[in-house]
């Protein structure tokens, strides 16, 4: 009998979550957005329906980008430079960015919601890790173990 309030609250929260999700899909339309990706001197363009995060669009279009947390915003590996269209840096990203990276418009691809056309540059992965180590934002307990022979 004491679980009834918890059950009712759970059902109410579930219904609200479903309603918000449906409203987001039906009421908010970002339309077709063009993503321009520069990596290793090559440029690739693709069009997507806006609304999801940048990391998912990159993966869907065959662009490999490191993300050990699977896009949850907890590892800081999916750093990309977003000089156009990314908007301001989010508080969830700030803990992973040095002052220099913020000035260079670095963002976490998993935290950038595609709302309009974007231009991004994907940096060299080793540069990202070395900058994280230099800024003392590299926690080895949350990272992959890499050996160089």
Q: State whether 65 and 12 are in the same domain.
A: no
Is there a contact between 148 and 126 (Cβ–Cβ < 8 Å)?
no
Whether 46 maps to a domain, the answer reads yes
pLDDT higher for 121 or 127? 121
pLDDT (tens digit per residue) in 30-89: 789 999 999 888 899 999 988 889 999 999 999 888 888 878 888 888 899 999 888 899
Domain tally for the chain? 2
- pLDDT recorded at residue 140: 52
Whether 148 maps to a domain, the answer reads no
Domain that holds residue 17: 1-29
| CA pair distance 135, 121, nearest whole angstrom | 21
**pLDDT higher than threshold 70 for residue 17:** yes
Whether 54 maps to a domain, the answer reads yes
Burial track 34-48 (b if 16+ CB lie within 10 A, e otherwise): ebebebeeeeeeeeb
Q: State whether 13 and 53 are in the same domain.
A: no
Is there a contact between 30 and 49 (Cβ–Cβ < 8 Å)?
yes
Whether 134 maps to a domain, the answer reads yes
Encoded tokens for 48: 């997507």
Q: State whether 62 and 126 are in the same domain.
A: yes
- pLDDT recorded at residue 1: 58
Which residues pair with residue 47 across a beta bridge? Answer: 34
The full length of the chain comes to 149
**pLDDT higher than threshold 50 for residue 146:** no
The pTM of the full predicted model, rounded to 2 decimals, is: 0.70
93 burial type by CB count under 10 A (0-12 exposed, 13-18 middle, 19+ buried): buried
């Amino acid at each position: 009998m004491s679980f009834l309030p918890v059950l009712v609250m759970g059902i109410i929260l579930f219904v609200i979550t479903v309603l918000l999700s449906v409203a987001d899909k039906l009421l908010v339309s970002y339309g077709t957005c063009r993503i321009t990706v520069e990596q290793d001197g090559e440029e690739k363009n693709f069009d997507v329906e806006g609304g999801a995060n940048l990391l998912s669009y990159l993966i869907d279009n065959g662009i490999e980008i490191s993300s050990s947390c699977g896009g949850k915003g907890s590892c800081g590996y999916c750093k990309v430079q977003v000089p156009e269209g990314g908007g301001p840096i989010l508080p969830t990203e700030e803990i992973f960015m040095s002052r220099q990276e913020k000035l260079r418009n670095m963002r976490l691809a998993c935290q950038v919601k595609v709302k309009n056309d974007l231009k991004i540059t994907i940096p060299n992965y080793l540069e990202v890790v070395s900058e994280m180590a230099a800024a003392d934002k590299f926690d080895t307990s949350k990272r992959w173990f890499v050996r160089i022979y």
